[in-house]
Each structure stands twice: as C-alpha cells, then as structure tokens.
Amino acid sequence: MDQVKVLVVTGFGINCEEETAAAYRMAGAHAYISHLNDLLNGKIRLHDFNLFHLPGGFSFGDDLGSGKVLADKLRYKPMSDGTSFFSEIKKFLADGKYIFGICNGFQALVKSGLLPNISGKFEQEITLTNNLSGHFEDRWCVLKTNFQKKSPFLKEINHIHLPVRHGEGRLLFAHAGIRDKIVDLGLDCLTYCDQVGNPTSEYPFNPNGAELNCAGITDTTGRILGIMPHPEAFLSIYNHPEWPRIKRERKLENEEGDGLKIFRNIVNHIRKN
C-alpha cells in the first residue's frame, strides 16, 4: 500500500514544523519538511504529496497581521517558471487532495481566501484578528466538534482538549451573510467550550472572543481545515499539565494525547480513499 505523503512547510518564522511532522509520522504517514522557497523555486513539487500542511508560528513576525504576509506570498509570489504558486494550490485541490493549517497556518489560509471560500472565488470572507483580552493567550481549552458538516479530520471526535498559543485568534466574519452561510453549512467545525463541554463566549474558555465561539473552519468540501488550537502539542498524555488526573479519570487504553486523533483521522482517510 502506498504511504501517505505530507508536505510540512517551514521558513520565514514558522516554528512548529518538527512537532507537526512528528504527529504525521506517529499517524503512519511520511512527512517531509520543506522551506517554502523550495516549493517556489521548483525543488519540491506540491503534487507529489497528498496533504499540504501550514504549521503554527510567527511567519514574517506577524508584522502586518498574523499570517498576512505568508498569505500574500502563497497567493501572489511567482514560481521560478513564472507560474503562480496559487494556481498550483488550486490544481492540488482540484485533484482531490487536502490542506491543513494550524494557528498561523489557519490565519494564512483565511487571509489567502482558501478558507472558507463559500463563493468559490478564493476571496477573503473572514479574518482572525486581535484577541479581545488584548494580550497573547497560552492556555488549554475544551473544544467541541460540529457534525453538521463532517470533515475527515474530525471523524468520531466529540470533545477534545487542546492548547492555544496566539495573540490574534478572534474569528470575525466579513458580514452577516457570510456568518449565516457558515452556520447553515456547518463549516464552523470546532467550538470553544466551558469545562463541562458546553459552547461558551465566556473568557477564558473562549480565549479570544471569536464569533460563534469558533476555533476552526472547514471549506465546503471538508478537505481544507484550519484551526487555532495546536493538536501537534498534545501527542502524548504527558504533554498535558494535568496528565496524572486525566490518566486516572479516563482509564486510558494507551498514552496518546487528544491531538493525535486528528492526524490519525486524516492519514487513515487518505490511505483508504
């Protein structure tokens, strides 16, 4: 059986590539870490992979807003042969392949127009901006999946516990029509919850003040996912600050962290399909 191949981008301030690649490898995929420039100059071919991953970090120092410069680079930077890299991304998606962005990667997907792309025109429809708290948030959150729109990334996940680490995670919609369409289609796939698992706008359970208490968005196909929390930071139960309590209460069959479920889901889905 062919191995699932994942391309994890790095460079320009991205800093979660190693944990991300480790997550895919633990899930049974081959993960290749590449500097974005290697894609743009043709050393690496996007189409040789099944999944394109944009990790978390601080690309270009967030100087013009988190993910904005990276988004513009993805969208407008010509490749060495003069063609647009964004046209390569569109072809990659047209071939039925997958894209996953976490934190800074999510911000880049949103600001490049790849998510949620309700219009199909790859125009920016939502944004991720400064937390209502006015400062960087580094905390663990309870999250609930929305199964109106099933995404292979989130299969059989109901509640999940993951950390957030961001200063600009507040999701806002361009206008009420976009918000309503996202709700109707169930594209708001991940929701901040209180400690007992109920969706809430209360701080700090919703750490940034996101509309709809939204922590993640999928496109209409379910093949592009962007989330603010970091599943690659919870691959082992021992990553969690309260691991002894969790281990006792859950009576775990193994010592895997919640975050690994997302990577296993998508790797298994690609392998089967």
Catalytic machinery residues: 103, 230, 232
Cβ 226 vs Cβ 262: under 8 Å: no
* Phi, psi at 154, each rounded to 5°: -110, 20
* Phi, psi at 157, each rounded to 5°: -105, 125
Beta strands in the chain (DSSP E): 5-10, 30-35, 51-54, 98-102, 126-129, 137-145, 159-166, 170-173, 190-193, 214-218, 224-227
* Phi, psi at 207, each rounded to 5°: -75, -10
Residue type, 68: K
Beta-carbon contacts of residue 248 (< 8 Å; ≥ 6 apart): none
CA 224 from chain center: how many Å? Answer: 8
Cβ 128 vs Cβ 94: under 8 Å: no
Q: How far apart are CA 241 and CA 16, in angstroms?
A: 19
